[in-house]
A and B are shown apart, each in its own frame.
Chain A
Amino acid sequence: MSPLWLLAAIVVFALIGAALGRNRAVSCVNGNIAELHSRPGYYGSYVMIWTALPAIFFMVAVLMAQPFFNSSIIDSELRAGYSQSCDREMARTNGDADAKLPAICADKEQYETLDTRRALMKSVVESVAVGVSLLDKATADKLHNGLVAVRPTLKEVGVALAEDVPTPVVDAANKLNEAKKTGDYILLGGVGLLLIIGLVLSYLRVSPRLRARNLVETNIKVALVLASSIAILTTVGIVMSMLFEAIHFFNKVSLSNFFLGTQWDPRFTSAGRAGGGEGSFGLLPLIWGTLYISLVALLVAVPIGMFAAIYMAEYASNTVRAIAKPLLEILAGIPTIVYGFFALVTVGPFLRDTGAAIGLDISANSVLTAGCVMGIMLIPFISSLSDDIITAVPQSLRDGSLGLGATKSETIKKVILPAALPGIVGSILLAASRAIGETMIVVMAAGIAANLTLNPFEAVTTVTVKIVSQLTGDLEFNSPQTLVAFALGITLFVITLGLNIFALHIVRKYREQYD
């Protein structure tokens, strides 16, 4: 029975409970609902909550525990099965000193020493279990007794195996199927029992004096608190998951190699092969590339964004403002993949051809390409934030300055901008943090090779590009080549978080209080 059906059953049961609870409340006072403590609907909701909640909690708990339970069964069964078969084989070749180690014993050895082998066998057992559950009774028995070969039999029911499997695997699969069946019974029985108990108990508690509304409202409030703590959970999840994997990475690669290395060459070795060399995971060229591209982007975005904001806030008529502001904000709504494509097929080739025409050697995915396009993307971030901040400067400051005979531009330069400076710096910092974390533009428009260069016409690569390229290959998950993505990710997270907090701090600390 799939969890979705079970959930549907719970919902139906809860709705029935709601109707019953409501009816009981109304009939308790013979229809005179003024005698009830709460409105009848609350009695219904009360019964509904206490019918559904325990069952749902139980279901979630069982479903979460089941995979762990199943994998421990697989593990213990395989271990027992392997050593049994191995002992049997050893006993048969006993005394023959020249005999090779039986194949099953080699399997056992591998299973006990290699993590990857264990993970592989677990998935093999799982697919065999699926296959066995599809077989009819007679064939399953034959398979169990080793009378038919496993692979062709399972192929007939549509489960393809890479290689034939030894008997311990089939036995483990059978045990797994039994455990799954028991698990299903426990789930079904437990949920049913809890539904009935919850329904009966809460139904019996319904009486005119029951403070149903208060009880229901407490539940609602708990739900609200839980919902708002998801934000915290997400942050904790981000930090924990990346820290966890990054620690794995730093167990294999030294901290100094990562943070101080100037060479990025993670040397892809094929999965599972030992001794491929550590590879060098120098972060510096990546950070340099990221900062360089972000700097170019800000050099494009800050002047354009600032002047646009100043013009819109101080000079523009209402019509110009009503047209220009949304147009610029469209730039913020365009997905970054579109900018990436624009850089890839339009800006990159254009800059390269222009460079060639005036005798400059500009690579198609140069710092300039990625930076310019990213700068275009950042214009609206700077312009709308700065616009808001400039508009928030009180009119009296402008009037005072104009009254002393300053021109409008002098007022802006000497009075308004200094007053708005903290907010503007904050908006630039926020834009910088966005530039550093931006992925798709650089994945498509920046280079692949890490490069410590000052030349804006050459290609560099960034932290985000490397996160993507390290994780989209067919690599074993536990290799340092993959885990480095998490170390890069947490570095990125810390940098952007730091910038954001710094921006907020500046805004708060230097904000002038006018009224």
Chain B
Amino acid sequence: MTDTANQSTEMLATSKNRDLGLKRRYGRERRFQAMGIAAITMGVLFLFLLFWSIVTKGYTAFQQTKIHLDIYLSEQLIDPSGNRDINVIQMPIRYNKVLEAAIYKAAGIDPKDKTKRNAMREAKSLLSKGASVDLRDLVVENPSLIGTRIDYWALADGDVDSFLKGQIPRDIPESKRKISDAQIAIIDTMAEKGVLAKQFNSNLFFNGPSSRPESAGIAVAVIGSVFMMLIVLVLALPIGVAASIYLEEFAPKNRWTDLIEVNINNLAAVPSIVFGLLGLAVFINFAGLPRSASLVGGLVLTLMTLPTIIIATRSALKAVPPSIREAALGVGASKTQAIFHHVLPLATPGILTGTIIGLAQALGETAPLLMIGMVAFVKDFPATPLDPATALPVQIYMWSGEAQRAFTERTSAAILILLAFLALMNISAVLLRRRFERRW
């Protein structure tokens, strides 16, 4: 009797305990779930923070401050002899005076007034040092402009640009500001009159690098990147597909094949900078290929991309059911015919998806290119893959080291352009997979 009473009180106690425990356990469950949600939220938050920081820093770079000038291309200044000799009219220095006269007029300063010397100097410095070169290019192209009046939007200095975009605040003391009070006064009056305005920054897209932020652009880097991507595509795709066909379809199971497989998996995890060292030692020092050339960059990136393409191609080949091969063999095709005529076409979407993803990786790669000397100031547009060039990510790296505020903005803009290319490639890979993916 007492036993059962004891038992029942015990049972009561444990059930109470259990209920208490259950509460705690459910609490733990909730906390555990919350941790999971928090982790995902943090990851996504970081992603947005990253994009937010780059977009807010970079979007302004797509506009550039220009100064609307009414320029009289005086023949006396540009071509005193009057015979349009290209060696005479192509000197940028001849256009300085022309531009100066125009900017004094735009700022409302009388150039003959000796007391306005300072104001004249300040007004002159609003123009970019590249403005005379741009004007020169315009005139050299149409010499008939000499002696006429033209409406011209001249490039403003990078600091003026930053000031107008609010990146150089007004309220800090003049000594710490790159723009003087006198310049601010001129800028304000000019902006009010609409003489000073922001326009689309075409220099960013069509110019090469420059030490002046206002005329710096990514064109040379983009050409270099395009050359490299073409080389990677032309080399890595056939080699990668051939290697995967061998490993997946022909290779006997032996030590050698195992070795190759382990190798490919390891190569996929080798730090990219090591590939750069390989390129430096083998392609440049041993084979004697030129430094900074996009050919060498392309070769290095090819070696880096190969494992990605091979792994993707192999899984695409694996996904083609054996019945396809057997059917082809059954009607008398040889093994090679079965693979090249039937399996490979069916695996193409998978292969292309893998290739695009590999190319996207290669496009964003920077470190190996630094090793092979692509971090150089290349002003000339490369005509062949053997000419010195830079790449888009390397250009970003070089700009990020520049101190001027205007370069930070352009670095972000270049990153946005790079990310746009990458997004385009990845989206096309996803679409390709969606469109052509086949379930067997």
Does the CB pair A328–B43 fall under 8 Å? yes
Contact (A437, B366) CB under 8 Å given A315-B36, A335-B422, A345-B53: no
Q: Does A467 contact B (CB under 8 A)?
A: yes
Q: Does A346 contact B (CB under 8 A)?
A: yes
Q: Which of A213, A234, A310, A330 contacts B267 (CB 8 A)?
A: A234
Q: CB-CB < 8 A to B36: which residues of A?
A: 307-308, 310-312, 315
Closest beta carbon of chain A to B371's beta carbon, Å: 6
Q: Which of A224, A303, A467, A501 contacts B39 (CB 8 A)?
A: A303
Q: Which of A220, A333, A438 contacts B360 (CB 8 A)?
A: A333
Q: Which of B35, B40, B250, B270 contacts A312 (CB 8 A)?
A: B40
Does the CB pair A224–B263 fall under 8 Å? no
Does the CB pair A232–B263 fall under 8 Å? yes
Does the CB pair B271–A464 fall under 8 Å? yes
Contact (A346, B281) CB under 8 Å given A338-B415, A464-B271: no
> Of B146-154, B190-198, B210-218, B240-248, which stretch is located at the interface?
B240-248
> Of A19-27, A96-104, A198-206, A405-413, which stretch is located at the interface?
A405-413
Q: Would you call the interface of chain B mostly helix, strand, loop, or mixed?
A: helix
> Of A50-58, A155-163, A238-246, A450-458, which stretch is located at the interface?
A238-246
Q: CB-CB < 8 A to A439: which residues of B?
A: 271-273, 366-367
Which residues of A443-490 are within 8 A (CB) of B?
Answer: 443-444, 464, 467-468, 471-472, 477, 485-486, 489
> Of B122-130, B134-142, B181-189, B302-310, which stretch is located at the interface?
B302-310
Does the CB pair B43–A237 fall under 8 Å? no
Q: Tell which of A227, A245, A310, A485 has the most Cβ of chain B within 10 Å.
A: A227
Q: Which of A217, A225, A310, A493 contacts B274 (CB 8 A)?
A: A493
Does the CB pair B306–A234 fall under 8 Å? yes
Does the CB pair B271–A245 fall under 8 Å? no
Q: Which of B54, B238, B282, B288 contacts A341 (CB 8 A)?
A: B54
Q: Does A358 contact B (CB under 8 A)?
A: no
Q: CB-CB < 8 A to B274: which residues of A?
A: 238, 242, 437, 489, 492-493
Contact (A333, B243) CB under 8 Å given A324-B40, A500-B266: no
> Of B168-176, B315-323, B392-400, which stretch is located at the interface?
B392-400
Complex: A360 Cα to B310 Cα, angstroms: 49
Complex: A472 Cα to B371 Cα, angstroms: 7
Contact (A500, B269) CB under 8 Å given A440-B367, A471-B280: yes
Does the CB pair A234–B39 fall under 8 Å? no
Does the CB pair B260–A229 fall under 8 Å? yes
Q: Does B26 contact A (CB under 8 A)?
A: yes
Chain B 397-419 near chain A by CB (<8 Å), digits 1 or 0: 10010000000100110010011
Does the CB pair A227–B263 fall under 8 Å? no
**Can you name the residue of chain B whose Cβ is closest to the Cβ of A439?**
B367
Does the CB pair B277–A489 fall under 8 Å? yes
Does the CB pair A412–B32 fall under 8 Å? yes
Does the CB pair B367–A231 fall under 8 Å? no
Does the CB pair A227–B272 fall under 8 Å? no
Does the CB pair B26–A407 fall under 8 Å? yes
Question: How many inter-chain residue pairs (CB < 8 Å) link A and B?
Answer: 239
Which residues of B13-45 are within 8 A (CB) of A?
Answer: 25-26, 28-29, 32-33, 35-40, 42-44
Q: CB-CB < 8 A to A340: which residues of B?
A: 397, 400
Q: Does B46 contact A (CB under 8 A)?
A: yes
Q: Does B50 contact A (CB under 8 A)?
A: yes
Q: Does B167 contact A (CB under 8 A)?
A: no
Q: Does B428 contact A (CB under 8 A)?
A: no
Q: CB-CB < 8 A to A410: which residues of B?
A: 25, 28-29
Does the CB pair A231–B264 fall under 8 Å? yes
Closest beta carbon of chain A to B308's beta carbon, Å: 12
Contact (A333, B422) CB under 8 Å given A227-B243, A307-B38: yes
Q: CB-CB < 8 A to B419: which residues of A?
A: 334, 338
**Can you name the residue of chain B whose Cβ is closest to the Cβ of A229?**
B260
> Of A78-86, A144-152, A428-436, which stretch is located at the interface?
A428-436
Q: Which of A235, A311, A346, A409 contacts B40 (CB 8 A)?
A: A311
Q: CB-CB < 8 A to A504: which residues of B?
A: 265
Q: Which of A230, A324, A327, A496 contacts B269 (CB 8 A)?
A: A496
Q: Does A94 contact B (CB under 8 A)?
A: no
Q: Does B57 contact A (CB under 8 A)?
A: yes
Does the CB pair A437–B270 fall under 8 Å? yes
Does the CB pair B47–A331 fall under 8 Å? yes
Closest beta carbon of chain A to B422's beta carbon, Å: 6
Q: Would you call the interface of chain A mostly helix, strand, loop, or mixed?
A: helix
Q: Does A172 contact B (CB under 8 A)?
A: no
Q: Does A177 contact B (CB under 8 A)?
A: no
Closest beta carbon of chain B to A216's beta carbon, Å: 8
Q: Does B259 contact A (CB under 8 A)?
A: yes
Q: Does B278 contact A (CB under 8 A)?
A: yes
What count of chain A residues pass the 8 Å CB interface test? 86
Q: Does A424 contact B (CB under 8 A)?
A: no
Q: Which of B38, B40, B264 contacts A328 (CB 8 A)?
A: B40
Q: CB-CB < 8 A to A328: which residues of B?
A: 40, 43-44, 47
Does the CB pair B29–A408 fall under 8 Å? yes
Q: CB-CB < 8 A to A438: which residues of B?
A: 271
Q: Does B180 contact A (CB under 8 A)?
A: no
Closest beta carbon of chain A to B431's beta carbon, Å: 14
Q: CB-CB < 8 A to B360: which residues of A?
A: 333
Which residues of B409-440 are within 8 A (CB) of A?
Answer: 411-412, 415, 418-419, 422, 426
Complex: A492 Cα to B269 Cα, angstroms: 12
**Can you name the residue of chain B whose Cβ is closest to the Cβ of A332?**
B361
Complex: A492 Cα to B50 Cα, angstroms: 29
Which residues of A186-229 are within 8 A (CB) of B?
Answer: 213, 217, 220-221, 223-225, 227-229
Closest beta carbon of chain B to A42's beta carbon, Å: 10
Does the CB pair A467–B277 fall under 8 Å? yes
Q: CB-CB < 8 A to A443: which residues of B?
A: 367, 397
**Can you name the residue of chain A whose Cβ is closest to the Cβ of B400?**
A341
Q: Does A342 contact B (CB under 8 A)?
A: yes
Contact (A335, B47) CB under 8 Å given A67-B288, A437-B274: no
Does the CB pair A238–B270 fall under 8 Å? yes
Q: Which of B33, B250, B271 contacts A311 (CB 8 A)?
A: B33
Q: Does B202 contact A (CB under 8 A)?
A: no
Q: Which of A213, A228, A335 contacts B251 (CB 8 A)?
A: A228
Closest beta carbon of chain B to A388's beta carbon, Å: 14
Does the CB pair A468–B307 fall under 8 Å? no
**Can you name the residue of chain B whose Cβ is closest to the Cβ of A236?**
B263
Complex: A223 Cα to B25 Cα, angstroms: 63
Does the CB pair B273–A235 fall under 8 Å? no
Does the CB pair B42–A304 fall under 8 Å? yes
Q: Does A337 contact B (CB under 8 A)?
A: yes
Does the CB pair A486–B260 fall under 8 Å? no
A sample of 10 inter-chain contacts (CB < 8 A) reads A220-B336, A227-B238, A230-B239, A231-B263, A242-B274, A242-B277, A307-B35, A311-B33, A409-B32, A437-B273
Which 3 pairs across A and B sit closest by C-beta, in order of nearness? A437-B271, A311-B36, A335-B364
User: A235-B263, A311-B33, A436-B271 are known contacts; what are 18 more A-B pairs with Cβ within 8 Å?
Assistant: A217-B336, A221-B250, A227-B239, A228-B243, A232-B260, A242-B274, A242-B281, A303-B39, A304-B39, A307-B39, A311-B36, A334-B419, A335-B418, A409-B28, A434-B269, A437-B271, A443-B397, A497-B266
- Which chain B residues have a beta carbon within 8 Å of chain A's beta carbons? 25-26, 28-29, 32-33, 35-40, 42-44, 46-47, 49-50, 53-54, 57, 238-240, 242-247, 250-251, 259-260, 263-267, 269-275, 277-278, 280-282, 285-286, 288, 303, 306-307, 310, 334, 336, 360, 363-367, 370-371, 375, 393, 396-397, 400, 408, 411-412, 415, 418-419, 422, 426
- Which chain A residues have a beta carbon within 8 Å of chain B's beta carbons? 67, 213, 217, 220-221, 223-225, 227-232, 234-235, 237-238, 241-242, 244-245, 303-308, 310-312, 315, 324, 327-328, 330-331, 333-342, 344-346, 376, 379-380, 383, 407-410, 412-413, 430, 433-434, 436-440, 443-444, 464, 467-468, 471-472, 477, 485-486, 489, 492-493, 496-497, 500-501, 504
